[in-house]
Amino acid sequence: MNQPDSHRILNSFRLAYGWCIAASCLFVSISGCASLNPWKDEDEYTRAKNAIEGYEDAEGNWVRPEGSRANRRVSSDLPKFLQDIPGLGQRPINKEKAREKYREADQIFEQAKNAEGTERRDLFRKAAKQYLAAGKEWTSSALEQDAMFMAAESYFFAEDYPKAENQYVKLIKDYPRTRWQDQVDKRRMEIGDYWLQFPDKFYNVNFTDNKRPWNDTANHGKRVLEKMRLDSPTSRLADDVTMEIANTEFKRENWPEALDAYRDLISVYPDSPYQFDAHFLGAKSALMSYQGAQYTSEPLEHADKLLSQMVKQFPDKAQENKDQIREMMAEVKFRKAERLYDEALYRANKEEYAAAKIYCDQIIEDYDDTPFAEKAKEILGKSEGKPGVPTPYLHWMTTVFPTRDKIGPIIKAAEAAQIKDAEAVMAQNPDGSIRR
């Protein structure tokens, strides 16, 4: 095949390819190809979006569930009589019945608000049960969320605080982003504060008071507040809850636990209005948790740090409490000097006078206004002229038994040779001059 024929074939191929491209573009423009424009078909896009956010019920309606159960809808092939068992089957949704029961619960709730005494409590309990029944008719919905909250509120006003607390916790668990979060935190804090007023023992059992758990009331209150910190660490009442826990441990004289809670508030909630109180009471807790010179100095370090920060950050309030702050600072200084003296005395008793001198010098330099400065001087006076390191017991035994040290004899021999050479040089040059 010659050159012109190959050119003609190539041109024919290019022309045919161009016609194919033109025909394809014309087809796309006329028909609107869905493969090149997937969002053109609104029904398909809507169906895909619904499939991601919800599911299709038996009637063909798209349902978008809410709460923690949104992503764990159960599909079960169990017999019909087992379908209503929680966790095994899917409860049918009846929206109209749910709304009807919710309205009935609202009516009972309004009646209870105007009642008094035993009738008031009974009506609130009845309203709580009706709210829960309404929520079961339409699970994973905004209605169930509101029903769970109103059931908890009903138990709260009925003064059934344990049941109310359980319902609040269940609401937070099933709907972590509930719009009732602030109100729930407020109620739970009120319940926790109320229970903290009853420091009964765990073996004191309660059978008559619906306001309290059946035993260990105060610790139940503490657990409510601690659970609040875990459930909503960034809520409006988070610093209030932390401060309440710290103050409770302070009153119980659980000093390490109180110190930990105060330090949590200081580090996690820097904008809290309780910052000064947390520094002040935290320093006191640290000093009270210190156990003496034979134990760790960590509480003293915490107290010193908190006092220094308090004076710098809150000068006005520190001035108002200057007497107590100075007293705590003096105690920190006294305890630190005491630790150094205890160590110096220990070293002196072991005849390790070099180490004892280091501690004594530090006492005299940094803590000369404490009574331990004079005691340190006494130790220095007794150690004057004595060896820095005590002579080992039975040291003469080292000359009796052979040693395994192979480097020592070599070093000694080298030193002896150097000394001998130096003596020979000096003998030849008594005036110390170097002769070449």
**In this structure, is residue 161 part of a structural domain?**
yes
Q: 114-147: buried (b, 16+ CB within 10 Å) or exposed (e) per residue?
A: eeeeeebbebbbbbbebbbbbbbbbbbbebbbbb
Confidence of residue 342 (pLDDT cuts 50, 70, 90): very high
CA distances from 202 to 64, 163, 213, 252 (A): 45, 20, 11, 16
Statement: residue 404 has pLDDT above 90: no
Closest CA to 299 of 283, 312, 311, 279: 283
Domain tally, the chain: 1
Task: Write the pLDDT tens digit of every residue in 228-244.
Answer: 988 888 888 999 999 99
Q: Which two tokens stand for residue 299?
A: 């509480």
What letter would DSSP give residue 55? Answer: E
Pick the residue with more confidence: 326 or 70? 326
The whole-number pLDDT of residue 233 equals 86
Task: Write the pLDDT tens digit of every residue in 98-129.
Answer: 999 999 999 999 999 999 989 999 999 999 99
397-421 average pLDDT score: 71
The whole-number pLDDT of residue 153 equals 97
Residues 241, 232 contacting (CB under 8 angstroms): no
**In this structure, is residue 87 part of a structural domain?**
no
Containing domain of residue 202, as a range? 97-236
Confidence of residue 159 (pLDDT cuts 50, 70, 90): very high
Environment class of 219 (CB within 10 Å of its CB; exposed 0-12, middle 13-18, buried 19+): middle
Residues 343, 319 contacting (CB under 8 angstroms): no
Statement: residue 34 has pLDDT above 70: no
The whole-number pLDDT of residue 8 equals 57
**In this structure, is residue 331 part of a structural domain?**
no
**In this structure, is residue 70 part of a structural domain?**
no
CA distances from 170 to 149, 151, 160, 161, 317 (A): 9, 11, 16, 14, 42
Average pLDDT, the chain: 81
Domain of 130, CATH number, reads 1.25.40.10
Q: Which two tokens stand for residue 255?
A: 């000093």
40-57 average pLDDT score: 54
**In this structure, is residue 330 part of a structural domain?**
no
The whole-number pLDDT of residue 151 equals 97
Task: Write the pLDDT tens digit of every residue in 254-290.
Answer: 999 999 999 999 999 999 999 999 999 999 999 999 9
Q: How far apart are CA 63 and CA 224, in angstroms?
A: 35
The whole-number pLDDT of residue 35 equals 42
The whole-number pLDDT of residue 1 equals 46
404 residue type, one letter: R
Closest CA to 364 of 345, 380, 348: 380
Pick the residue with more confidence: 365 or 386? 365
Confidence of residue 79 (pLDDT cuts 50, 70, 90): low
**In this structure, is residue 126 part of a structural domain?**
yes
What are the residues whose beta carbons fall under 8 Å from the beta carbon of 380, sequence distance 6 or more?
A: 357, 360
**In this structure, is residue 413 part of a structural domain?**
no
**In this structure, is residue 225 part of a structural domain?**
yes
Environment class of 111 (CB within 10 Å of its CB; exposed 0-12, middle 13-18, buried 19+): middle
